[in-house]
């Protein structure tokens, strides 16, 4: 279904405005440092010459607008400067950590989708039953408590008390998986290393579930209400009259239509989980962009920090754009704004 071109253009324009806005914002944010940003970055023992050399290297001795123009030009060409802590290109550092973060977020979404749909269907079909009430209670818990609290709860229960699952890292250090895609689950499967795959799966379990709980709750609520709507439709009534088996009615006829509003939620939630993954990575020692961010904060590595902030923001802007587009494609009657 073609999307109206004026809408597409306007949405594209919004996205460009957002990207420019984000870049201005990211620039200003790191120039409002109280005192001298250069002093923040050097070691306390640095000589005056070292400080001035760094100031010149960062271009901080130039007028502000020139600094911004230079920064925006570099930003467009993907050059985010050099990390002070690692002395490596910022973009290189960030992209090397990106697959780990994406793997965590995507696995969380998959887990949330499977569980969320399952309990959503149960709640709708058995609406008002004890099962429904218990699930609704769990949903409220899952939605109310922040990701990091779940993370800590799981570390204590499964890690410290029961010793069931690993609580730190992506895989046991004994395994060596040659990176192909950067997604360790896929790479270990492709190279046929089942033991490594199992280890990676065990490592991702707790962080992914901690991150997934809020989304499970949201999917549960949304799917329950849309299932209840669909189950009240005439065609479901007709199906029942025709004597179709209940299982077939629920999973094939009703669920398919009820899933549409659920799927549009996933896009928005992707950006939300990207944000949540930061603290989950910290808690579980997951070597993604989130832990890199903490290193940047700890070492006051401003170029690295700025690079990471911009990459997260760009991912959010692009995702929102794609979500709006798919939304209008799925449902062309709705013109957003």
CB closer to another protein, 153 vs 194: 153
Measured CA to CA, the distance from residue 216 to residue 108 in angstroms comes to 10
CB closer to another protein, 250 vs 302: 302
Residue 82: C-alpha distances to residues 43, 73, 89, 128, 184 (Å): 17, 15, 5, 58, 27
End-to-end CA distance of the chain: 19
Q: What number of chain residues touch another protein (CB under 8 A)?
A: 47
The closest alpha carbon to 169, from 132, 134, 207, belongs to 207
Measured CA to CA, the distance from residue 77 to residue 81 in angstroms comes to 11
Measured CA to CA, the distance from residue 3 to residue 324 in angstroms comes to 11
Considering only residues 313-332, where is the footprint of another protein by CB under 8 A?
Answer: 313, 316-317, 320
Residue 292 lies near another protein (rule: CB under 8 A): no
Binding mask 233-272 for another protein (x = CB under 8 A): --------------------------------------xx
CB closer to another protein, 17 vs 180: 17
216, 117 Cβ separation under 8 angstroms: no
Residue 211 lies near another protein (rule: CB under 8 A): no
Smallest gap, in angstroms, from Cβ of residue 312 to another protein?
5
The closest alpha carbon to 22, from 96, 76, 83, 81, belongs to 76
CB closer to another protein, 333 vs 337: 337
27, 71 Cβ separation under 8 angstroms: yes
Interface ranges with another protein (CB under 8 A): 14, 17-18, 21-22, 25, 29-30, 32-34, 128, 140-141, 143-146, 148-149, 152-153, 155-156, 160, 218, 271-272, 274-276, 278-279, 282, 293-294, 296-297, 300, 305, 308-309, 312-313, 316-317, 320
């Amino acid at each position: 279904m073609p999307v109206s071109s004026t809408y597409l253009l306007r949405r594209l324009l919004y996205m460009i405005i957002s990207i420019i806005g984000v870049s201005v914002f990211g620039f200003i944010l790191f120039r409002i440092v109280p005192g001298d940003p250069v002093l923040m970055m050097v070691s306390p023992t640095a000589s005056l010459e070292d400080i001035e050399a760094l100031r010149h290297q960062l271009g901080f001795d130039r007028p502000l607008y020139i600094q911004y123009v230079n920064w925006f030009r570099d930003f467009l060409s993907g050059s985010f400067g050099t990390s002070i802590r690692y002395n490596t290109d910022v973009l290189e550092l960030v992209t090397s950590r990106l697959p780990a973060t994406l793997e965590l977020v995507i696995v969380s979404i998959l887990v949330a989708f499977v569980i969320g749909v399952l309990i959503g269907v149960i709640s709708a079909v058995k609406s008002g039953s004890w099962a429904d009430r218990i699930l609704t209670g769990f949903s409220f818990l899952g939605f109310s408590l922040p990701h990091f609290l779940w993370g800590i709860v799981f570390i204590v229960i499964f890690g410290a008390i029961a010793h069931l699952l690993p609580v730190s890292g992506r895989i046991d250090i004994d395994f060596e998986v040659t990176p192909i895609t950067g997604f360790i689950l896929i790479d270990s499967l492709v190279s046929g290393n089942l033991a490594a795959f199992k280890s990676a799966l065990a490592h991702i379990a707790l962080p992914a579930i901690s991150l997934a709980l809020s989304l499970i709750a949201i999917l549960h609520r949304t799917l329950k209400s849309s299932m209840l709507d669909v189950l009240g439709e005439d065609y479901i009534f007709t199906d029942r009259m025709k004597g179709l088996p209940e299982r077939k009615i629920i999973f094939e006829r009703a669920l398919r239509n009820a899933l549409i509003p659920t799927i549009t939620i996933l896009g928005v939630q992707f950006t939300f989980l990207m944000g949540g993954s930061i603290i989950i990575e910290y808690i579980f020692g997951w070597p993604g962009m989130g832990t890199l961010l903490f290193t940047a904060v700890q070492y006051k590595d401003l170029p690295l920090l700025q690079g990471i902030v911009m990459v997260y923001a760009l991912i959010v802007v692009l995702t929102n754009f794609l979500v709006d587009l798919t939304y209008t494609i799925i449902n062309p009657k709705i013109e957003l704004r």
